Amino acid sequence: MSDSTPVLVLAGERTVERHDGSRVTHPVMTWHPEWREVLTAFAACNPPATTTRLVDWYVTADGTPPIEVFDWCSLPGDVADGMRAMGASLWRVPVVPDGGLAHLTDMTQVLGRHTGAALTALGEALIEASGGRQTTAMKVPIGANAGLPDGSFPIHVDDWPARNLLNVFTKPAPDAQGATLVLPLPDYERLAVAAFGAEQAAEMMRRIRREVPWDLLHYEQSFGWHEKDEWDLIRSTTEASMVIVYGEGEGYLVDDSTVLHGRTVVVERGDRLDRLHRLTFDDEQSYRLRAAMGGAYL
């Protein structure tokens, strides 16, 4: 077990068909065998569920999001050391592949109901490895009302400070509800230019590509139009997206600045709260890029 061992490794490829009939292949990744042993020990400790606290540095007119918190005192010392080493690896060793998207598989096999707690602990361990920089990882729960009133969530980026997004499905909605939408940024940019014009789209792209310091208002400035889509961009981006139905233990890892995501309709709203677990995180390289731009949220 070494903090130079990548947290995720290749486990094959997955090919997805797009609406136009073209087929796109991306890598499939899963836990590295060495870290799988650490996660097995973590689950065997039967750690408590996470609690939440409000993020003191993230305050907008819409309120303050909760962040999940793990009780490290519940772990034996050797297991805690293993999780801290795993977080240090996620900080030091980049795992997002070229192209900005990987499918995930067998992510809950050894963790079961402790998947959310493990991701929370992993994020907190990464923060520790980063020198305590609180914006380098966040485990924010998915709200029951996230998305539009019909249960869909149009194509977007999460736009938290950290660049990478890891989503693991633990209780997928039944009957292929809430299928994942994925759209590479160049395709989105083309459709945004058609909808808003080149100048407005260029400003959106600068924020999405993280070419300017992160700001609390970026998401609203880029995707506030979702509430009243007068430009038909929801339909056009949905039709251009890959549609992927993930099962339990599957999910995806994306560079949030190069690949957008969303979901189709989830009718059974009660399934949303625990249908997936989300960890956003920087590695040392992506944080260095963010820090070089400066800004208030480092």
Whole-prediction pTM: 0.94
Across 55-72, average pLDDT: 86
Q: What does the pLDDT read at residue 8? A: 98
CA of 262: how far to CAs of 22, 111, 189, 220, 247, in Å? 20, 26, 16, 16, 16
At 54, give phi and psi (nearest 5°): -80, 145
In this predicted model, what pLDDT tens digit does every residue of 77-111 receive, in sequence order?
999 999 999 999 999 999 999 999 999 999 999 99
**Distance between start and end Cα atoms, the chain:** 30
Radius of gyration of the chain (CA): 19
Q: What does the pLDDT read at residue 274? A: 67
In this predicted model, what pLDDT tens digit does every residue of 42-62 receive, in sequence order?
999 999 999 999 988 888 777
**Could you tell me which residues come within 8 angstroms of residue 169 by beta carbon, excluding any fewer than 6 positions away?**
246, 247, 248, 249, 250, 251, 275, 276
Which pLDDT band, with edges at 50, 70 and 90, does 272 fall under? low
Which amino acid belongs to residue 195?
A
Which pLDDT band, with edges at 50, 70 and 90, does 203 fall under? very high
Domains, the chain, ordered by start: 8-13+24-293 (3.60.130)
